[in-house]
Amino acid sequence: MNQQQLKELLAQMSLEEKIGQLVQLPAYFQNGGTITGPAGDLGLTQEDLSLAGSYLSVIGAEKTRTLQEEYTAAHPHHIPLIFMDDIINGYRTVFPVPLAQGCTFNPDLVQQGASVAAKEAAASGVHVTFSPMADLVRDARWGRVMESTGEDAYLNGLMAAAMVRGYQGDLKEKGTIAGCLKHFAGYGAPEGGRDYANVELSLRTLKEDYLPAYKAAIDAGVAMVMTSFNTLDRVPSTANKWLMRDILRDEMGFDGALISDWGAVGELVPHGVAQDFAQAAQLAIEAGVDMDMVSPSYAKHLKTLVEEGKVDEKLIDESCMRMLELKNKLGLFENPFRDAAKEDEDALLLCEEHRKAAQDCAEKSFVLLKNEENMLPLRSGQEKVAFIGPFVNNKFLCGSWAIFSDDQDTVALKDALEKQESDSCISFAAGSRVMDGDGVVQGFQKQIPEETLDEEFALSQAIEMARGADKVVLALGEHREFSGEASSRGSLTLPRCQQRLLDEVAKVNQNITVVLFCGRPMDLRDVHNKAKAILVAWFPGTEGGPALARTLYGHCAPQGKLSMAFPFSVSQLPLHYNQLSTGRPFHGDYKAARFGSKYQDMPRFPLYPFGFGLSYTTFSCSPVTLDKAVLTKDSSIKARVSVKNTGNAEGTETVQLYIRDMVGSVARPVRELKGFRQVTLQPGEEKEVCFEITEDMLRFWDIHMNYVSEPGEFQLFIGTDSTTENKASFTLEA
Ligand code: GLC
């Protein structure tokens, strides 16, 4: 349809029909689907159901085609449904969780993963995914750090834009789906790290740190945006007219559809800004929220609000038009079934090509934090290795948002090792449960299976196995339901049962490698003291087992870099590398001085910083050279280093560029990531890495809230993580 035809259609629609287009219902109204939020019957009538414009979590070529055929035939103007789903890190072939994908520092790879997810989901009748999640995160207590790509706005922006390109391509093409940017805005900074809690951000911090990644996704053409559950300046986002109209639409230029989060319109009542669902509906539609996801507010109250003159029907028309435009972008008026096709589903889902892509992404997402005495890589056939831990023979490796996958499709580490290392002397033992008996109370997506392990026997068996091995690989971590939505934690340590396993094994064998499965940075102080090597696997997805087996035995080398720091302790949170200097900056031994921004009883810096990650080789970076020392608005500076592989294995290094504005009209971060390059080098090989510095990279929100650069001195750092002191200075001239 063209715009004129859409306008004519809108003009023919009744008020009930137009309101129906603003309502999204959960799949359980169609006897199926997954529940991703508080459920209930919503008190809707059959007419409400028949006029609803969208379903959430309905999947499957046959299911969606049948529902679409019935619905479109019965609809007064035959307007097709739009099917939306949470495809966060893959559809049926599951990729590493987004926090792990951030560690690849490879937007092209992330784009490829999104494209695979889109091909599979489109064949299953999905039209929109609720991804990318571009929330900046600085607090690992918040379980949804798992869904983000980390603590840096610049990296998050690159990753969010890559996902949009991967999902959407050109939406007229087959095998694409619309993306939905979320959660607008600032959801990643809840008080206490508690999900859904209040967010306190100054306007400058909101604009400086939290909005840029959303902006990158909008500039990449994301088709939809989702409101966030939190309050910002004590206004719930879903009722925040300033945030949604002045900022999102007018200032950031978003002109697509805006959907609430699950039930968030109705939740304006418990937020205490709406007396009832009627007032909630009024606040949300006035804020410009086009679609009400799984709350009865729009369906039950908008008609009356219009008839009573409390809501201008023009607002309904505006939102209805944006939903019709989204359906039109997807070509649903011409072809309501779009790409839904059983034969494509059968050919694409979990196909070899997709599994390989998932494995490749997993291999590049692993982060090697420690590797003393060359504990890794393991030497195939030359040493006895005991693989011990509750994640050795565990298929729950896809994270809590892999809601459309089947855990039976996942290849466990044990299976991969038995296949790859058939000639090696390897042994396996669980050693402990995943969780303590008093573990997490409720699963988010899939109920947590009861663990029936005989703990004492398992532990004694593991200890004996460790005693007789040359090396031990301990596969430890947190249950997948410990991260994701509604999964905040007050502690970041391993479960007690796993800690005991580590303690007991360390008493009989010191050659320990810990492979950590997690959806968030954890407190690894004790692991650091007891293990000679630490490899973070995150939740690596369907092919996590083979990816790990290949990495542990050196068929590929780790190259990931932390997209979010591992704190020394949960007490340091929130924590981020690009902090302000403060009037009493502090470095060095916290016991050695008093007056500084630090703690009396522990270091103030993370155990493992943003951008950190080792390989199986070593690299050196030459001092930074600049081709000039003065920058003007219409010139550029070239900053160069020479990177050399100083070890004896091939490796890939991610060389990072940070810049510090030494004096600004407001306090400026001690450094900010402004670029990175990946170089793969053979032993002894050396390559030059060059970054071009331009004035626009130096802009920020100044004392007058103008987005400008200011003349003065800058330092730039080029190195292999955010703590590098390999630096040079330059001046920006007016
Ligand atoms: C959930 C999440 C959101 C998700 C939506 C639909 O509550 O907050 O990220 O896309 O509801 O499942």
- CA 483-487-490 angle, to 5 degrees, is 100
Q: State the CB neighbour count (10 A cutoff) for residue 314.
A: 9
The alpha carbon torsion through 102, 104, 108, 111 (nearest 10 deg) reads -40
Query: What are the pLDDT digits (tens) for 628-644?
Result: 999 999 999 999 999 99
Q: What is the pLDDT of residue 44?
A: 85
Query: What are the pLDDT digits (tens) for 415-431?
Result: 999 999 998 899 999 99
Query: What are the pLDDT digits (tens) for 676-697?
Result: 999 999 999 999 999 999 999 9
Task: Tell me the pairing of strands 367-371 and 533-536.
Answer: antiparallel
| Residues ≥6 apart with Cβ < 8 Å to 45 | none
C-alpha of residue 36 to centroid of ligand 1, in Å: 6
Strand partners for 388: 429, 474
pLDDT confidence of 734, banded at 50, 70, 90? confident
Q: Are residues 558 and 637 in the same domain?
A: no
Question: Does a structural domain hold residue 30?
Answer: no
Strand partners for 516: 476, 536
Q: What is the pLDDT of residue 48?
A: 85
Q: Which atom of ligand 1 is nearest to the CA of 86?
A: 10
Which residues contact ligand 1 via a Cβ below 6 A? Answer: 36-37, 86, 130, 182, 261-262, 485
Query: What are the pLDDT digits (tens) for 645-680?
Result: 999 999 999 999 999 999 999 999 999 999 999 999
Strand partners for 655: 677
C-beta separation of 693 from 730 below 8 A: yes
Q: Which atom of ligand 1 is nearest to the CA of 37?
A: 7
Q: What is the pLDDT of residue 40?
A: 66
With the most atoms of ligand 1 within 8 angstroms of its CB, the residue from 87, 187, 293, 485 to mutate is 485
pLDDT confidence of 310, banded at 50, 70, 90? very high
Q: What is the pLDDT of residue 617?
A: 98
Q: What is the pLDDT of residue 238?
A: 98
Chain Cα centroid distance, residue 694: 29
Q: Which atom of ligand 1 is nearest to the CA of 131?
A: 10
Q: Are residues 543 and 668 in the same domain?
A: no
C-beta separation of 498 from 389 below 8 A: yes
pLDDT confidence of 211, banded at 50, 70, 90? very high
Containing H/E element for 5?
helix 3-12
Closest CA to 626 of 560, 539, 717: 717
C-alpha of residue 293 to centroid of ligand 1, in Å: 9
DSSP symbol at 647: S
Q: State the CB neighbour count (10 A cutoff) for residue 31.
A: 7
C-alpha of residue 230 to centroid of ligand 1, in Å: 13
pLDDT confidence of 620, banded at 50, 70, 90? very high
Q: What is the pLDDT of residue 32?
A: 61
**C-alpha separations of 334 from 22, 77, 124 in Å:** 21, 14, 18
Label residue 734 exposed, middle or buried (CB < 10 Å: 0-12, 13-18, 19+). Answer: exposed
Query: What are the pLDDT digits (tens) for 108-154?
Result: 999 999 999 999 999 999 999 999 999 999 999 999 999 999 999 99
Closest CA to 606 of 103, 151, 149, 148: 151
Q: Percent of the chain at pLDDT above 70?
A: 97
Q: Are residues 446 and 560 in the same domain?
A: yes
C-alpha of residue 473 to centroid of ligand 1, in Å: 36
Question: Does a structural domain hold residue 378?
Answer: yes
Q: Considering only CA atoms, which residue is closest to atom 11 of ligand 1?
A: 262
Is residue 729 over pLDDT 90? Answer: yes
Q: Which atom of ligand 1 is nearest to the CA of 57?
A: 12
pLDDT, the chain, mean? 96
Question: Does a structural domain hold residue 674?
Answer: yes
C-beta separation of 716 from 624 below 8 A: yes
C-alpha of residue 661 to centroid of ligand 1, in Å: 38
Question: Does a structural domain hold residue 508?
Answer: yes
Q: Considering only CA atoms, which residue is closest to atom 12 of ligand 1?
A: 36
Find the mean pLDDT for residues 354-361. Answer: 98
DSSP symbol at 242: I
CA atoms within 13 A on the CB side of 629: 4
Q: Are residues 629 and 565 in the same domain?
A: no
C-alpha of residue 56 to centroid of ligand 1, in Å: 10
Q: What is the pLDDT of residue 287?
A: 98
Distance CA 354, CA 89 (A): 13
CA atoms within 13 A on the CB side of 111: 14
- The CATH number for 724's domain is 2.60.40.10
Q: In terms of residue numbers, what domain contains 419?
A: 371-572
Distance CA 615, CA 558 (A): 5
- The CATH number for 548's domain is 3.40.50.1700
With the most atoms of ligand 1 within 8 angstroms of its CB, the residue from 24, 35, 196, 261 to mutate is 261
Phi-psi sector, 281: left (phi>0), alpha (psi -120 to 50), beta: alpha
Domain count for the chain, please give it.
Answer: 2
C-alpha of residue 261 to centroid of ligand 1, in Å: 6
Q: Are residues 387 and 454 in the same domain?
A: yes
Q: Are residues 626 and 696 in the same domain?
A: yes
Pick the catalytic residue from 261, 339, 523, 721: 261
Q: Which atom of ligand 1 is nearest to the CA of 133?
A: 9
Domain boundary among 572, 605, 639: 572
Query: What are the pLDDT digits (tens) for 406-463?
Result: 999 999 999 999 999 998 899 999 999 999 877 556 677 666 777 888 999 999 999 9
Q: Considering only CA atoms, which residue is closest to atom 10 of ligand 1?
A: 130
Q: Are residues 403 and 543 in the same domain?
A: yes
pLDDT confidence of 553, banded at 50, 70, 90? very high
Q: Are residues 566 and 691 in the same domain?
A: no
**C-alpha separations of 29 from 42, 266, 268 in Å:** 10, 18, 23
- CA 149-484-115 angle, to 5 degrees, is 50
Label residue 705 exposed, middle or buried (CB < 10 Å: 0-12, 13-18, 19+). Answer: exposed
Question: Does a structural domain hold residue 187?
Answer: no
Question: Does a structural domain hold residue 163?
Answer: no
Find the mean pLDDT for residues 274-282. Answer: 98
Find the mean pLDDT for residues 396-413. Answer: 96
Domain boundary among 572, 604, 634: 572
Distance CA 111, CA 396 (A): 24
Structure token pair of residue 157: 């922006």
Active site residue 312: no
Q: Are residues 485 and 378 in the same domain?
A: yes
C-alpha of residue 263 to centroid of ligand 1, in Å: 9
Q: Are residues 545 and 677 in the same domain?
A: no
pLDDT confidence of 39, banded at 50, 70, 90? low
Domain boundary among 544, 572, 600: 572
Q: Which atom of ligand 1 is nearest to the CA of 229?
A: 8
Question: Does a structural domain hold residue 337?
Answer: no
Closest CA to 715 of 672, 669, 660: 660
Q: What is the pLDDT of residue 440?
A: 59
Q: Are residues 502 and 646 in the same domain?
A: no
Structure token pair of residue 100: 């792990």
Find the mean pLDDT for residues 554-573. Answer: 98
The alpha carbon torsion through 610, 614, 620, 625 (nearest 10 deg) reads -20
With H, G, I as helix, E, B as strand and everything else as coil, classify residue 716.
strand
| Residues ≥6 apart with Cβ < 8 Å to 336 | 68, 69, 72, 80, 81
Closest CA to 567 of 623, 615, 523: 523
Question: Does a structural domain hold residue 484?
Answer: yes
Q: Are residues 625 and 558 in the same domain?
A: no
